[in-house]
Amino acid sequence: MRHFAVVGSGPAGFYTAEALERAYGESARIDILDRYPVPYGLIRFGVAPDHQSLKAVAKRYDKVAESAGVDFIGNITIGRDVSVAELLDLYDAVILATGAPHDRKLGIPGEDLPGVVGSAEFVGWYNGHPDFADLDPPLGGPHAAVIGAGNVALDCARILSKTRHEFEGSDIVGHALEALDQSAIRTVTILGRRGPHQVAMTPKELGELGHLEAAVPLIEPADFPPQEADEALEPGLRKSVSLLRGFADLEATKAKQIVFDFFAKPVAIEGDGRAERIIVERTLLDDSGAARGTGETYAVPASLVVTAIGYSTSPIADVPFAGGKFVNEAGRIAERLYAVGWARRGPTGTIGTNRPDGYEVADQVAAAMVPGSDSDRAGAEGLKRLLAERGVMATDYDDWRKIEETETGQARPGSPREKFVRVEDWLRTLGR
């Protein structure tokens, strides 16, 4: 029997567990560990609550968790409750699938002013992440801005612009729904340092902006290169640019506007004790395609500023770390220690991009420890003993199911579930 620990229960962790289970069958036990009592990482806390069809990928992960050789052990933080060295003693291989939960910083004056929030915080707030339940983003002013030119920026702008009615069928948490319903925001400006040809926004997410009940997307037609230049773009980006060109024909006919401001580099955030405006420098693209400041600046009013410019992984003691992720070669960090997903590659790609990662690392593990071979490591039994000695209240598969049933059972009308937003509430459900 072999014992494997997968640290992190987001897509990368689940695809890795699936691949290991397929490679080893009954000759291995795979434990998926997570710092929260419930699994799925960004599927639960990141993917937008109005994108329920995407969140349904979790059903595939459910099947993995139900496999005889796979267990979920929650409410345990690796690096705090148990070290990686201890896991390596207990397990034949340890695979870090801890994602990239921290917002990258802008590095400009004023970014620590109240009113400036990272997208991990803002997205976590509306998705019921326990760390951000008390964020209370300022929604009382008429202007908000989102800094970034990717899908996360679009998610934030869309959530800020939807009506209560448009959240029906979503699993947005109650506190965010109430606050957004009372929001005074009328303009959301999306700031991108480069132009429409350089966006990392996909057609589906852009297309949604064109069909909002109370908001209309607007773009300066002068921001576009000549239409012929679109021919050289890869098909997905060409479609995105075509949608953006369509927005340039629209007018401010609805109560709210989502304004795309391209070639706009934030250089400072200013305000009297809190964010009031972003000072933006106009840019031009140089020959290498990088944005170069022109020296021309202007102010964009915003009492809420959401930065959506990327994420970094949390370092864990004794694991080599550089550039916002674990140092690895094709997923291998050291003997018997691997990384997958955003912890391996950094914060790029879709949910599906994490699948080949997981399968590739599982292949490496299977090459190093042939399926059917044995070891005398203690695996889950040893881990549970250690956790009991340390008073760590780990949760298991049955606990998670009980939480899930409770959440689903108390769903608001029109919503698939009402998520708990505090770890204490999860544990109270379990009578602990």
Ligand X SMILES: Cc1cc2nc3c(=O)[nH]c(=O)nc-3n(C[C@H](O)[C@H](O)[C@H](O)COP(=O)(O)OP(=O)(O)OC[C@H]3O[C@@H](n4cnc5c(N)ncnc54)[C@H](O)[C@@H]3O)c2cc1C
Q: Least CB distance from residue 226 to ligand X, whole Å? A: 32
CA 83 to each of CA 12, 41, 296, 385, 387: distance values in angstroms, whole numbers, following the listed order? 21, 20, 51, 14, 12
What span, in angstroms and rounded, lies between the C-alpha atoms of 214 and 163?
7
| Nearest CB to ligand X, comparing residues 29 and 35 | 35
Q: Least CB distance from residue 423 to ligand X, whole Å? A: 11
In which order are the strands placed within the sheet that holds 2-7? 70-73, 28-33, 2-7, 93-96, 337-339, 332-334
Q: Least CB distance from residue 336 to ligand X, whole Å? A: 18
Q: Least CB distance from residue 252 to ligand X, whole Å? A: 27
| Nearest CB to ligand X, comparing residues 248 and 423 | 423
Q: What region, left, alpha or beta, does residue 85 occupy, with left being phi > 0 and alpha being psi -120 to 50 degrees?
A: alpha
DSSP state of 254: S
Instruction: Write down the residue that tokens 């689903």 correspond to.
Output: 408
| Nearest CB to ligand X, comparing residues 246 and 349 | 349
Residue of 359, 339, 310 whose CA lies nearest to 149: 310
Q: Least CB distance from residue 57 to ligand X, whole Å? A: 8
| Nearest CB to ligand X, comparing residues 154 and 291 | 154
| Nearest CB to ligand X, comparing residues 3 and 345 | 345
Q: Least CB distance from residue 418 to ligand X, whole Å? A: 20
Angle (CA) 258 263 267, round 5°: 95
What span, in angstroms and rounded, lies between the C-alpha atoms of 149 and 159?
16
Count the neighbouring beta carbons within 10 Å of the beta carbon of residue 41. Answer: 27
Are the beta carbons of 225 and 182 closer than 8 angstroms? Answer: no
- Give the strand pairing for 291-301 and 277-285: antiparallel
| Nearest CB to ligand X, comparing residues 20 and 123 | 123
Are the beta carbons of 377 and 131 closer than 8 angstroms? Answer: no
Where along the sequence are the contacts to ligand X (CB under 6 A)?
Answer: 7-13, 33-36, 41-42, 46-47, 51, 54, 77-79, 97-99, 123, 152, 155, 314, 316, 341-343, 349-351, 354
| Nearest CB to ligand X, comparing residues 218 and 308 | 308
| Nearest CB to ligand X, comparing residues 103 and 223 | 103
Are the beta carbons of 367 and 360 closer than 8 angstroms? Answer: no
| Nearest CB to ligand X, comparing residues 27 and 397 | 397
Q: Least CB distance from residue 335 to ligand X, whole Å? A: 21
What span, in angstroms and rounded, lies between the C-alpha atoms of 125 and 12?
23
Q: Least CB distance from residue 99 to ligand X, whole Å? A: 2
Sign of CA dihedral 305, 311, 317, 318: negative
Q: Least CB distance from residue 268 to ligand X, whole Å? A: 26
- E strands, 134-193, in order: 143-147, 187-191
